[in-house]
Amino acid sequence: MQAPFTATPYARSWPRWPYLVFLSILFFGPPIAALFIATGLPIMTELGWIARSLLTTYVCPTPLKSYELLGAPMAVCTRCWGATIGLWLGWFIATRHTAPSAITAWFRLPTALRFLLAILPFALWWLEIRFWPTASYEVLLLNGALAGTTAGMFFCSVYPGMRRHG
């Protein structure tokens, strides 16, 4: 039987760049939308508001709790922004070849268990939204980063070519 995280000679890796482009768009998109809104220029402002409208309608659960740049709101709430930071952190952890034994053990768990552990922090989102609506921006940021990190580690563990080798 083959070790859990060694590539077979026939395994195909997917390129990493699409994932990294996606993470870059998630990271830079919300503040760029705010900066577009802040310019006051007709086309730029409308593009920023369109981005914010789409994201707050279909992605972000609490758009009123977003950071502001130059007086304009970012396209997502602080929690979603934290999740993006967490996705980057999860990628960083998942792609390093030396890691603490607890992280290495996490990557050796069965896929279904890793998935369940990765979605568990998202329950904190619901709890926080439902029972602590006055939570500070710092709490939202940390809550989002925790969920984003576990989601990023899970996604990288199943994305061909980003698996840990160790």
Residue whose C-alpha is closest to residue 81's, from 128, 122, 30, 38: 30
Specify the pTM: 0.81
Domain boundaries, the chain: 17-158
- Mean per-residue pLDDT for 89-110? 79
**Which pLDDT tens digit goes with each residue over 37-94?**
999 899 999 999 998 888 888 888 788 888 888 999 888 889 989 999 999 999 888 8
pLDDT at 113: 93
Query: Is residue 104 predicted with pLDDT exceeding 90?
Result: no
Neighbours of 2 (CB within 10 A): 7
Neighbours of 66 (CB within 10 A): 25
In the chain the beta strands, taken as DSSP E runs, fall at 68-69, 72-73
